Structure 1
Amino acid sequence: MSLLGLYLPGGSMLHRAPAATKLIGLVALALVTQLIPWWARCVLLVLVCGLYPLARIDLRFALRQLRPLWWMLAAIGVAQLVFGSWQLAVSVVVTIGLLVLAAGLVTLTTTTTDLSDVVVAALGPFRRFGVNPERVGLLIALSIRAVPVVLGLAEQIRDAQRARGKTLSPRAFAVPLLVRALRHAQRMGDALVARGVDD
């Protein structure tokens, strides 16, 4: 099962850091990666990996977050090599890995409730324009929790196809994943309606 979206309790400095600070840092990191060369992105990747031991999280445990993405990263890297350059391939692959690991670090050290509370507080001033901050916060919380579910479904489909000895074609992978994801979304929607949260 994917580790994305899971919270690991702890008392490290990163666990104690405010959720707002971590979210702002994540957004800033995403912006900075678009302004720096490929080698600087590699340096940032090493730095983010170094934050995991600081948070008292085993780096091998953290790298498992990338396991469902290896095939996608490989495909993107090959495409960039064919149609671009090796620098572009490194930039794109490293950036995706960097942001996934950084986002994983945030969700591993921050509860979903704290993250959604930050979103609700940030959107408070927009209430006068008809924005419902609580509903947006709920959407964010559900989205974070859906990430490990969808990635877990992807792993199940790949494992089932390998067990049957079938080659993994994009269509044979995408169709069952879409069907299972829609079924999960339907069950989630039914549960919310049953609890009085309408659309």
Structure 2
Amino acid sequence: MITLYRPGDSLWHRLPTGRKAALLAALVLGISLVPVSWAWWGALIPAAVCLGCYAVPGIGVTRLLAQAWAARWIILVTLAGQLLFLGPQPAVVNTARVVAIIAVATLLALTTQVTELLDAIERGLAPLARLGVDPRRAGLLLTVTLTTLPVLARAAGHVREAQRARGARPRLRLFVVPFLVVALKHADELGEALTARGVR
């Protein structure tokens, strides 16, 4: 199965998966709760938190820039919609929060192997088994969600780069077919991985 995991020896890589997930979840929650009424501080604080998360030896700001570039369409759509309905300051603040949340959440996938993440989520959800929740399936759902969307975004970027290298014009119909092929291939690999884990 394709993942975003990048081997390394950074602080984030060495941190136990459960603590890392809890810490990053707390940061995401904190970023989402930054009030828009804080004027430009509402954009600077999420940006600073995000920059601090990536500015550790073994990760680097370059990786953050790569994540921002991969999410550029989300950034543009979010910024344009907010500018249209809310104005410049709320638009920048809300867009900064969205970008920071995506980047911080992606850091978990970049520094954690899928199997370790799944095991940590299953252990964390184990107490909910008394309420009828299947920790194994719930953990699998969360793990697949965390890994699939960034992988498809990266695949879309690869398709566009391949088309540019061949001199093709950026047309939607020329992009959709190869992207669907890549997406379906990923779905097949994901299905095989789930079957290997005994999930039907």
Considering the TM-score relative to the shorter chain, is it more than 0.5?
yes
1: CA distance, partners of 2:107 / 2:194: 28
Superposed, 1:44-193 pairs within 5 Å as 44-162=46-164, 163-169=166-172, 173=175, 177-178=179-180, 180-190=182-192, 192-193=194-195
Q: Is the 8 A contact 1:158 1:168 kept in 2?
A: no
Range with greater deviation from structure 2 (63-72 or 106-115): 106-115
Say if 1:7 and 1:140 are closer, same or farther in 2 by CA, change over 3 A. Answer: farther
1:36-68 Cα shifts (integer Å, max 9, x gaps): 235234223123212323243221133111222
* Aligned-residue CA RMSD (Å): 3.0
Residues 19 and 114 in structure 1, CA contact (< 8 A), matched pair in contact too: yes
Cα distance in 2 between the residues matched to 1:189 and 1:81: 40
Partner in structure 1 of residue 25 of structure 2? 27
Q: Which consecutive residues of structure 2, in runs of 5 or more, have no partner in the other structure?
A: none
Q: Distance in 1 between matches of 2:144 and 2:49?
A: 29
Q: How far is 1:125 from its partner?
A: 1.8
1:43 aligns to 2:41 (yes or no)? no
CA distance 1:178–1:67, change in 2 (3 Å) = same
Partner of 2:32, secondary structure, is: coil
Structure 2 length normalisation: TM-score?
A: 0.77
Deviates more, 1:21-30 or 1:178-187: 178-187
TM-score scaled to structure 1, two decimals? 0.77
Identity %: 31
From the superposition, tell whether residues 88 and 179 of structure 1 become closer, same or farther in structure 2 (CA, over 3 Å): farther
CA distance in 1, matches of 2:77, 2:119: 37
AA partner of residue 113 (structure 1): T
Report if aligned partners of 2:4, 2:109 keep a CA contact under 8 Å in 1.
yes
How many residues end up aligned between the 2 structures? 194
